[in-house]
Amino acid sequence: MPTRLVVLAADASLAGVAMVWGATFPLGKLVLRHLGPFQYLALRFAAAAALMVPLAWRERGRLRPAGVRAGVLAGVLLFAGAALQTVGLQYTTAGNAGLITGLNVLIIPLILLVWQRRLPTGALAAGVGLAAAGLWLLLWQGERIGGGDALVLGCAFALALQTIVVGRVASSVPAAPFACVQVAVVALLAAGPGFGLEPRPAAVPAGAIAAILFMALTATLGAYIAQAWAQRVASPTRAGLLFAIEPVAAVGFGVAWLGETLGSRQAAGAGALLLGVVVGEAGRGRDVAPAGLRSGHELATQDTGAN
């Protein structure tokens, strides 16, 4: 039985991971001022893969061909989510992107319920209703939804599918090599359009490179290590609720670093959306959604031990 101090340390670790993931949204917008979206993804995920190799190498013999194939499939879905999110981030705020990406924790059980032909629990239905109302308040612009917001919403669906794929095989594959395969797939898929189609930047400031390395180190490797320990102590539901800090952090850092603002309508929508995520996550049935990590955001470590 873990002591209270250990539980508090685990909670603090997961909250810290969520804060770091939230920071990647405004940091990503800053980097996108100097790099194309696919160049940014290729560099970020290549750096993350390189950092994960020492961990993955120790368990390389345990990853069978079936696990590699599952990792490639999950990596393709992770790439789809990352690409939609990053392209969309150019046309929406960091706060909106963080809030919309967070919807994947509600989309996961809904997809599984449709697959299993079951009705949602009352808490999940209430959470989805609140989130839908919040999404409408946050995103609706006259007679349309902003293009960037729509792309990030597609990201949330892609990440939900990626998490489901990972959840089906997570118990039968070694976490570090499996995560490394996914991250490497994203880097490879992004490198083609990034360096073959996007214009080469005249110069990339040292600050942008530092931001990419910071995200690779903290949002991927650091998150992987923190989660691998903390989620031995924290329940999946508790972890999911702590991860709800991520969109709040995205909004906060967007305001502090980029000068983003929320009108009263958008603020009400953000509050309803976040409340819906918390209500739905708190009432999630244990047999509905895969236990464990989100991820994404940040994208690289979801349910692999993490957007």
Query: DSSP letters along 184-206, please?
Result: HHHHHHHHHHHHHTSPPPS---H
More confident residue, 41 or 134: 41
Nearest to 304 by CA among 45, 294, 288, 189: 294
Per-chain mean pLDDT for the chain: 84
- If phi > 0 it is left, if psi is from -120 to 50 it is alpha, else beta; for residue 243 that is alpha
Please give the distance of CA 115 from its chain centroid, rounded to a whole number. 23
Q: pLDDT tens-digit profile of 252-286?
A: 999 999 999 888 888 888 888 888 888 877 765 44
d(Cα 183, Cα 246) in Å, to the nearest integer?
21
Would you kindly state where each structural domain of the chain is located, as residue ranges?
4-282
111 neighbors 224 (Cβ within 8 angstroms): no
**Mean pLDDT of the 53-67 span:** 88
DSSP H or E segment with residue 79:
helix 65-89
Q: What are phi and psi of 140, to 5 degrees?
A: -70, 125
Nearest to 66 by CA among 180, 171, 169, 177: 169
pLDDT band with cut points at 50, 70 and 90 for residue 298: very low
Q: pLDDT tens-digit profile of 161-194?
A: 998 888 888 778 888 899 999 999 999 999 999 9
Q: What tokens appear for 132 in the block?
A: 């839908």
Fill in the DSSP letter of residue 307.
Answer: -
Q: What residue has token string 């972890």?
A: 239
Q: pLDDT tens-digit profile of 129-160?
A: 888 888 888 777 665 677 899 999 999 999 98
pLDDT number for residue 253: 94
More confident residue, 46 or 240: 46
* Distances in whole angstroms, Cα of residue 22 to Cα of each of 6, 94, 101, 189, 244: 24, 9, 10, 24, 10
Fill in the DSSP letter of residue 121.
Answer: P
Q: Is the confidence at residue 37, as pLDDT, over 80?
A: yes
Q: Is the confidence at residue 304, as pLDDT, over 70?
A: no
pLDDT number for residue 302: 41
Q: What residue has token string 């995200």?
A: 215
pLDDT number for residue 27: 96
Residues in the chain: 307
**Mean pLDDT of the 18-36 span:** 95
